[in-house]
Structure 1
Amino acid sequence: MKAYLLSIAAGLLVGVVYSLLGVRSPAPPMIALVGLLGILLGEQIVPLASRFVTKNNVAQFVMTECRDHVLGRLPGDADKHDA
């Protein structure tokens, strides 16, 4: 239930931002896709910053967890994830 409440809160926040920017919802396809890309990349800022601060392997995070989250499973990756 918490995930649903957070989702509706995020949706309301995005709706307010759309209204302030004067973008109608549903947004034109290109604007919507750029917005989704921003959301995906924005989700990675906190984990990336925390790894940078703790001096963990940032490059490894970007090439694995971050890439998988932003791009999804790419063709040919099934063998790596299913093993």
Structure 2
Amino acid sequence: MKAYLVSFAVGALVGLIYHLVQVRSPAPPTIALVGLLGMLAGENAIGFIRACVAHLAG
């Protein structure tokens, strides 16, 4: 989890720097990033649901 937070913080810092120097980010459009987030959620959904069911079942 720490790696995700560090990655997010560094990305936000770079985005701030890009904004300050008025440079357009080479990152994909937001809609593409939302699609990737959906793909990751779908990819991990079955394992998450199985873990939840196993935890509730005892």
- The structure that is helix-richer by fraction is 2
Please classify the TM superposition score into its range, dividing by the shorter chain length: 0.3 to 0.5
Rg bigger for which structure?
A: 2
Higher relative CO (Cα under 8 Å, sequence separation at least 6) belongs to 1
- TM-score for the superposition, normalised by structure 2: 0.44
